[in-house]
Structure 1
């Protein structure tokens, strides 16, 4: 083949230096499934996402008109000498859906239009055309909640202090404090005695004070605006803060509103979101609300038996989408679930479903760890989807750690050898067999059969969970041993988390859950602040300068005045995702020049935020609290992560391991710890999993009790005790399938986990 022909069949990257890449040259064969492996922080994402996908997207964006380009993300060119062979590229990552409560699994997977079409054609009585069945359209939405299913209102008891008079400030909201504009509106309206406590108001006076609506005043104070009418406090708050959702209010005011408002199910539609006409339209006795409330699996069974020529194409579309959702292990989801509540892994799989029906060919699909959150039994179905995309004539690029996904690759690129500055090199390019025969860390670990523990630790006691019935759990009893490592397993949606993070800590209060719940702070918080050592870092900078510690916070005096410490400027684009561009003034460093002038161990405060745990410990070696926290960060497997990385960019597993580091750093006695962890190995290379297994072993040997919810067979194999829940997901799960040792689990015929563990322990290629 000529060099031109070779280039036409390759995506060629020459001298890539993005992030930690060290002058990488690599060829990715087109129309194949290529998996990029390596330890966390080795440069996989830098190569695939920040170089290949970013450059392809940047080139596509440049093809649009200036008007359109000005409204698209302004992507910087990756640090690379040259690239060729790029095609249109779709990035399917693990970012959660940014849509608000108007976005559901049905709308995100594009099955909603088919549902509406079916009911508009054969629903009785008909509510009208398809929009009449949409909660996002005025003709179909519930008028009370405007299609949201919930209503937000003012908590009057929290808002009003009845012991106070108007002059004393009876409204517990800073925007109505004495002297400000909104206080003057009711102070000068002439309707109330300003010195009388609200508890002494007549019912009529209190109703006016709270709920008056555009009332024409008979005798207002001269200081009341001449052309204005009077609104009660609650009426005013509803108009300004509840109905209009202002975006320019401060964080402190938003916190006040969170305290003063309550969200409840809409009393008119009872959460259905649709108006009465849409709710009353039925197909075989069920409304579109009933269809949407079913799990994907239940709805697939229902539409599988339907045959109506009037809506045959729509039914075929529904079945096709539901089959795809089932194939990625999401059969337990209901279509009316808000998409923003999905985990990163669930969101990514919904995005995969959207791309499966695409008519595009010769495109490049980039996936960032698509196996996250999947049981080994579900990974095989995921592999089928990846191969389906490849066989449609596309190039599929996958960043992945999972052995099953790596096993079906046509081509493998292994990055390493280490993380951060120790990574960024291509260790191997070739087939899966080449990888297994290599001496790379990934190759050695994958070639070795899984070592299932033979000798388990003896429990120091046990606690009992009785009649476990949370969510889909069926009311079983089970003993959880103390002083050992217990793995809780089962397919996605089987009830693992319901048991371990719900029933167990509810019945046994000594257990602390370190889960994947969202951390408060987002872009404004970093691992330094979560670990509680940000103040000590700032104090160290203050000690070598004439500035107060606040100058070394991008949330305070040290913030860049242009971006206010964010490092970027955000442009809101209405119904599209917001666009963020690096701040031109600080260059993304977040701090102002005065703060950047001070140095500790040769580093500015902005430099510190891009350092990793080991580098921080070295720079602040005279500060035991900082060194200790960085040690725990290393031990939980986050040593590759810059300490200034914003929380909203971390995966669920990374956030959980960060919380674990914080919990352990603050623990007065590790021997007394009883900790529940929910999938802590998310995003970890097998080598990193072995490292966190060593941490678990050290904690248990010190006397702690660990209960770990995880799909990763490397964790299950090293556990002392396994509680397997299933056998399936949703209504097919929730039963106690097995409780015992990992060795005994492999002999349980009903356990999908047991089967997978048995296969992995025999694997030796």
Structure 2
């Protein structure tokens, strides 16, 4: 057995803002790394420890293999000892393939496929009867028992309900020595069979043998040979027809319906895979949805005429082949190009959409003769569909997709599987029905399932069921009981995806591994936090080391060892300011310690806002798990939408409310989830959604380019006297455009030196010394600073520098206000932490001029934020509401929830057990609710702030 050192020793870490730090991390412990957002937590955990572990693993590969993987640069650290194999469970590593689901990621679906292939019972999709299959010996014994003393025909079916003349088939049958066939229920000579009508549907069977059945040795032998021959010709199916009878009886080696004779191939795991041709629905290729052309998107305004642009894909009238064809259709169906589309006949509209091919004549009034015309028109809908399916260009596909809707596949009804696969059942449920159950419901289904199966099924299924139940238990332990196995991985939040990977890792039962996790508590309600922490402790207890980058109070308090990085963020961080057991935190005077011990706290506001008296009322919401709920959003307040994970918060806000508002104010095209009506949209003038999708993460993206302030700065430099004399335009000051940038490094500031089998080396560009611009551009100065000097400024420095320029100052001040004053204007987006990136996005939206009548939607803005960062963020959001705007926040963090003016709590549970409004009102009113899970934790939070909550009790009762 390998003997590891007791600790992981990191010496001289200098990655990003780390200040040449040394740190000792105990092995086989739960270690939390905490600190302000941007202080250097991820730099230590991921960019130093994980990066070195990954590099060492790849170094073990041959030089040949490494050339395909690409090299990994060694992190800027002197030495790391005691490092074991490293697995990083991050938030952004889940597959975004439409074929990836919760079931495939966790491998539970793989075990389900095995279970159905080995123990599933097949039923006919035509009659619902249980399918049967026989061996050749069983078939022989059944024939002898059921037809003893009777004359029978043994038939091999070769054609089933298909049109054609089949001359070649009949000739081939004749050459094999057969003289009789059964065509459409009648036994005839092959010569007569050749005269069948090619345009009618036929059933054709070869008459393999005609005999009288007796239980004798000769008949037994003859039957065996005939059965074998019939199975060969009939593709493992044969029919027995009694002389004078009309109904034949089917027998098959495969699974077969005893009444209709339809057969299924012997099931295998791939029979139930929507990623295999053997199991996938043939119409949607296993995706569960198809794209259909939406007529209303082609004719968005039916009051318009064709000439004035009524057909959206074609635009305004111009001389083109398409419009000439439409003019011909207009002549044929008697409408004008200037007529409103709503006046055009249904028949003509059908030709416009689906196409038509015909010739016709029209009297020419001026010439007094008939003129001939020809319609040869593909149809707009057909053209769009063909472009979507066959176009080689991605932009053409996107264009076609904009006129289509994504709808559930009508063949498989969204189940992704072919009909044969859906007719295998275990305990009366098919595999798609099981995949659609919540994990908690699936756990209930498998509880005692083995006892409900018959004897043979029990023996086969026992071990498979045990594996499935174990994996389901891991998902329940990390608080994902509301998900279903058929849930697409694309729809998962970062926290959900990370917890699924955590559950999968716990299931793998590896020992001696170093796991590094990035804020696994994101998106998790306080109720489920204990289960998550217990899962991490279980991972530790079987012999692994667990490092968690986290701000959650409960996680910090239950850790074995806490490392606090700071004291501030960015250039002012990167130092170890405290480390040791959680109880030792009180010995240090740090921001983290002050918040954990209660010396510092985010205060409850002295009064709750009453709002402006106006509201938006959304009625009849039934998307996903919502139970036909009606919700009122009181304007001019800070609104919190709370509830356990999976209760329906995102469905209500991100999938229903926001798409409705976006379509109303900005003509957004995303279709909202089902609802009945909405009132009050006239009370606000725009909606801004600040979600969790990341900002551009290329080395050329930075806070200045993302927020748009760099454009203003470049324009300012172009207006300087020297730039005007030289004729420089704003583009001259872009490092992405030829002319002003350094062409040696193409504006990157560094050059990449390829080392063949070794990792690429990045060196500072020797021409521009990392400044990105050429000498002529750098000669232009504003207040003594070049454009490169400006990019190196911190936001705090830039705010002072650009104070006289309102356009630039306003944007920079907003970035400073969300707590990012320490980052530099030109800092690469790839070096920003998750919390920093999201706040840059928030600052971008907040820097836009607000009218005091805007509806802001934020989805968990506390992602990646320390207690102090949350305090700063809430100050900014409160200022927005004080100006008359409405801010709606979907959140689990109690420090944020207690500051709301109005709370809408969704629950009670996640998944099917959620989708209802549990409680609503001020935090004080919601805290009194006996059934709400949020209320339980809110009560503790409000009571901990002493007199403040007592003063607000009366307000809560009103």
| CA displacement at 1:295 relative to structure 2 | 1.9
- Quick one: structure 1 residues 341 and 557, their matched pair in 2 at CA, closer, same or farther if it must change by over 3 Å? farther
Matched ranges for 1:526-545 at <5 A = 527-543=703-719, 545=723
The residue aligned with 1:441 is: 591
**In 1: Cα distance, 2:390 partner to 2:51 partner:** 38
User: For structure 2, which runs of at least 5 residues remain unmatched after alignment?
Assistant: 123-254, 256-263, 300-304, 333-346, 357-377, 451-457, 662-677, 753-758, 946-958
The residue aligned with 1:63 is: 60
The residue aligned with 1:414 is: 564
Please say if residues 727 and 752 of structure 1, whose CA atoms lie closer than 8 Å, have aligned partners that are also in contact: yes
**In 2: Cα distance, 1:201 partner to 1:425 partner:** 80
The residue aligned with 2:445 is: 302
Q: 2:610 aligns with which of 452, 459, 464?
A: 459
The residue aligned with 2:545 is: 395
Matched ranges for 1:580-591 at <5 A = none
Per mean C-alpha deviation after superposition, the further-off stretch among 336-345 and 483-492 is 483-492
- Quick one: structure 1 residues 85 and 333, their matched pair in 2 at CA, closer, same or farther if it must change by over 3 Å? same
Q: Helix, strand or coil: the match of 1:675?
A: strand
The residue aligned with 1:474 is: 627
The residue aligned with 1:141 is: 280
Per mean C-alpha deviation after superposition, the further-off stretch among 144-153 and 645-654 is 645-654
Please say if residues 352 and 379 of structure 2, whose CA atoms lie closer than 8 Å, have aligned partners that are also in contact: yes
The residue aligned with 2:157 is: none
| CA displacement at 1:158 relative to structure 2 | 7.9
The residue aligned with 1:364 is: 514
1:693 aligns with 2:874: yes
**In 1: Cα distance, 2:877 partner to 2:380 partner:** 55
Please say if residues 751 and 764 of structure 2, whose CA atoms lie closer than 8 Å, have aligned partners that are also in contact: no
The Cα RMSD (Å) is: 4.5
Alpha-carbon displacement from aligned partner over 1:588-643 (angstroms, at most 9, x marks no partner)? 98967589756666877677667653344345445321221121122234445555
The residue aligned with 2:389 is: 242
Q: 1:632 aligns with which of 787, 790, 814?
A: 814
Please say if residues 644 and 909 of structure 2, whose CA atoms lie closer than 8 Å, have aligned partners that are also in contact: yes
Q: Helix, strand or coil: the match of 2:282?
A: coil
**In 2: Cα distance, 1:382 partner to 1:696 partner:** 30
The residue aligned with 2:193 is: none
1:752 aligns with 2:933: yes
The residue aligned with 1:486 is: 639
- Quick one: structure 1 residues 541 and 114, their matched pair in 2 at CA, closer, same or farther if it must change by over 3 Å? farther
Q: Helix, strand or coil: the match of 1:357?
A: helix
**In 1: Cα distance, 2:562 partner to 2:582 partner:** 6
- Quick one: structure 1 residues 438 and 54, their matched pair in 2 at CA, closer, same or farther if it must change by over 3 Å? same
- Quick one: structure 1 residues 295 and 591, their matched pair in 2 at CA, closer, same or farther if it must change by over 3 Å? farther
**In 2: Cα distance, 1:597 partner to 1:724 partner:** 56
Q: 1:83 aligns with which of 77, 80, 84?
A: 80
**In 2: Cα distance, 1:121 partner to 1:678 partner:** 44
| CA displacement at 1:529 relative to structure 2 | 4.8
| CA displacement at 1:748 relative to structure 2 | 3.0
1:427 aligns with 2:608: no
Please say if residues 274 and 280 of structure 2, whose CA atoms lie closer than 8 Å, have aligned partners that are also in contact: yes
Q: 1:104 aligns with which of 88, 101, 110?
A: 101
| CA displacement at 1:465 relative to structure 2 | 3.7
The residue aligned with 2:920 is: 739
| CA displacement at 1:32 relative to structure 2 | 0.5
- Quick one: structure 1 residues 640 and 210, their matched pair in 2 at CA, closer, same or farther if it must change by over 3 Å? farther
Matched ranges for 1:23-42 at <5 A = 23-42=20-39
Q: 1:281 aligns with which of 415, 418, 424?
A: 424
1:343 aligns with 2:482: no
Alpha-carbon displacement from aligned partner over 1:70-120 (angstroms, at most 9, x marks no partner)? 222432111111111111111111115243111111111221211111111
Q: 2:691 aligns with which of 516, 541, 559?
A: 516
Q: 1:729 aligns with which of 893, 907, 910?
A: 910
- The higher radius of gyration belongs to 2
1:496 aligns with 2:672: no
**In 2: Cα distance, 1:255 partner to 1:585 partner:** 40
Compute the TM-score of the two structures, normalised by the length of structure 1. 0.80
User: For structure 1, which runs of at least 5 residues remain unmatched after alignment?
Assistant: 165-169, 213-230, 571-579
